[in-house]
Amino acid sequence: MRASFVFSEVLTGLRRNVTMTVAMILTTMVSLFLLGVGLMIVRMIDKTQDVYEDRVQVNVFLTNDVSANDKGCAKDPCKDLRTALENDPAVETVKYQNRDEAYKRFKEIFATQPELVKLARPEALPASFSVKLYQPERSDVIIQTFTGRVGVDSVTDQSKYLEGLFNGFNGVRDLTFVIALIQAVAALLLISNTVQMSAFTRRTEVGIMRLVGATRWYTQLPFLLEAVVAGVLGAILGIGLLLLVKMWFFDRALGGLFASGVIRPIEGIDILLVAPWLLLTAIGISAITGYVTLRLYVRQ
């Protein structure tokens, strides 16, 4: 079986059915693009989770009284609280932030929104302990222990805020995968249809070839390859689209969130790492679909 023969047959077949070929490529492109987006979101979530796990989990906010009068946490109840926290076996680290430091931090975070900074005064911000736990999931224990103690205004679990954020991410991710799946089914059906049409259009020739003694494989390999070539082209376009969308849309629309450190951005390298998998998926799906179609639906 000669490569030049197969190559020319594949090209002829693709050209003969240009509209179907283009349709195949486009649907594959969209499916893989959506799959890629879903995977990117997963990656983003993972990265962001890593970052957050490294940071503070529980904040113990102190009363106005303590915040105003104990800038160094040298006196009780502040000192008392600090010791209690440090000695608690679930606590990894404790950091004290007094009112002034809190105000400074506030100005840093909201540097891009000066109106907010103008409104704030140091007296509005409480002093706090930033507490990092060994096991962030067990935060309720700490919260229960320290809520209501002398000097404590409130205890907040930061992971609760994050829960909302990650739920949002997960929702978008799931939706993207669902749409990707629907598109993939469409792509599959289109590939199957195109392979059948190709085989049907060439049936006279294939019949003659079979009479002369060509094997099924010899006559059908070109059709299979047509599907795979379209799949590969779709994958390449899909990856290109991913890069474009990342640059023009994600980086701009979510730029603010990335810059403030709320979510970790997706780098170009992330896309390039996932690209080979997308390519393999495309090849796999188009090859299997093509092969199954030929076995089941093409009689020769």
Q: Which of residues 187-206 bind other proteins (CB under 8 A)?
A: 205
* Stretch in the footprint of other proteins (CB under 8 A) among 19-27, 52-60, 170-178, 209-217: 209-217
- If one asks whether residue 215 binds other proteins (CB under 8 A), the answer comes out as yes
Residue 15 engages other proteins in binding (rule: CB under 8 A) = no
* Minimum CB distance to other proteins smaller for 160 or for 216: 216
Tell me which of 5, 134, 248, 297 binds other proteins, using CB under 8 A: 5
Q: Which is nearer to other proteins, 212 or 253 (CB)?
A: 212
Give how far Cα 50 sits from Cα of 23, 55, 258, Å. 40, 9, 15
Q: Nearest distance from residue 13's CB to other proteins, in Å? A: 12
**HSE-CB of 290 using CA atoms within 13 angstroms:** 24
Choice between 135 and 215, CB closer to other proteins: 215
3-state secondary structure of 55: coil
| Alpha-carbon torsion angle 106, 112, 117, 122, nearest 10 | 10
How many CB atoms are closer than 10 A to CB 114?
10
Interface with other proteins (CB under 8 A), residue total 14
Nearest distance in Å: CB 38, other proteins:
42
Q: Is 132 in the site for other proteins (CB under 8 A)?
A: no
Nearest to 149 by CA among 25, 74, 60: 60
State the nearest-atom distance from the C-beta of 208 to other proteins, in Å. 5
Residue 222: CB minimum distance to other proteins, A: 13
Which position among 3, 74, 119, 211 is part of the footprint of other proteins (CB under 8 A)? 211
The torsion region of residue 73 among left (phi > 0), alpha (psi -120 to 50) and beta comes to left
According to the binding rule CB under 8 A, does residue 16 interact with other proteins? no
Rule CB under 8 A: say whether 6 interacts with other proteins: no
Q: How many residues are present in the chain? A: 300
- Please tell me whether residue 1 binds other proteins under the rule CB under 8 A: yes
Of positions 143, 179, 209, 254, contacts other proteins by CB under 8 A? 209
Q: Say which DSSP state 136 is in.
A: G
Q: Count the neighbouring beta carbons within 10 Å of the beta carbon of residue 268.
A: 11
What's the CA angle centered on 114, arms 110 and 116, to 5 degrees? 70
Between 118 and 299, whose beta carbon lies closer to other proteins?
299
**Whether 153 contacts 68, CB under 8 Å:** no
The CA angle 66-72-78, to the nearest 5 degrees, is: 45
Given the rule CB under 8 A, which of 1-9, 36-44, 86-94, 105-113 is the region that contacts other proteins? 1-9
Interface with other proteins (CB under 8 A): 1-2, 5, 205, 208-216, 218
